[in-house]
């Protein structure tokens, strides 16, 4: 099930109109319609607004079951307990960088990756 169909299904289960979702999220009704009809893919921040408006945990917007899916057992790499970006200010900076990088165009991301690669090689040599 695609996200738009899931949003519509959850909205209709709760007997909410698109106008009610508009009031609860601050999103325009025409935008809500475009999302529900699959013409627009919402950002994560927008999905969070939908989840709050529909009074459901966010995973329910992406998953059809009653309980959350099982997370894979991800092992921590040895010697990575206190790596840069794991906590505090560094973690917030890294999260902001990820968010901004996710909004960048593909060509811009490739350019940044190329620059970072060259800088890493220069510093390691």
Q: Which pair of structure tokens corresponds to residue 47?
A: 């999905």
Cβ-Cβ contacts under 8 Å for 124 (sequence gap 6 or more): none
DSSP 51-82: HHHHTS-THHHH--SSSPPPPP-PPPPTT-TT
* pLDDT beneath 50, residues of the chain: none
With CA atoms as reference, report the closest residue to 60 among 73, 69, 71: 69
Which one is the CATH code of 3-62: 1.10.3720.10, 1.10.260.40, 3.40.50.2300, 3.40.50.300? 1.10.260.40
With CA atoms as reference, report the closest residue to 52 among 63, 43, 41, 61: 61
Residue ranges of the domains in the chain? 3-62
Q: Which pair of structure tokens corresponds to residue 96?
A: 């902001």
Torsion, CA 27, CA 37, CA 104, CA 96, rounded to 10: 50
Encode pLDDT of 23-57 as tens digits: 999 999 999 999 999 998 899 999 999 999 999 88
pLDDT at 108: 86
């Amino acid at each position: 099930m695609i996200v738009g169909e899931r949003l519509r299904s959850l909205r209709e289960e709760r007997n909410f109109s698109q106008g009610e979702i508009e009031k609860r999220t601050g999103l325009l009704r025409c935008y809500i319609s475009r999302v529900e009809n699959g013409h627009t893919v919402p950002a994560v921040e927008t999905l969070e607004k939908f989840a709050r408006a529909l009074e459901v945990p966010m995973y329910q917007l992406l998953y059809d079951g009653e309980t959350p899916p099982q997370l894979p057992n991800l092992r921590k790499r040895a010697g990575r307990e206190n790596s840069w970006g794991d906590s505090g200010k560094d973690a917030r900076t890294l999260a902001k960088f990820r968010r901004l990088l996710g909004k960048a165009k593909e060509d811009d991301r490739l350019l940044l990756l190329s620059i970072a690669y060259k800088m890493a090689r220069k510093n390691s040599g």
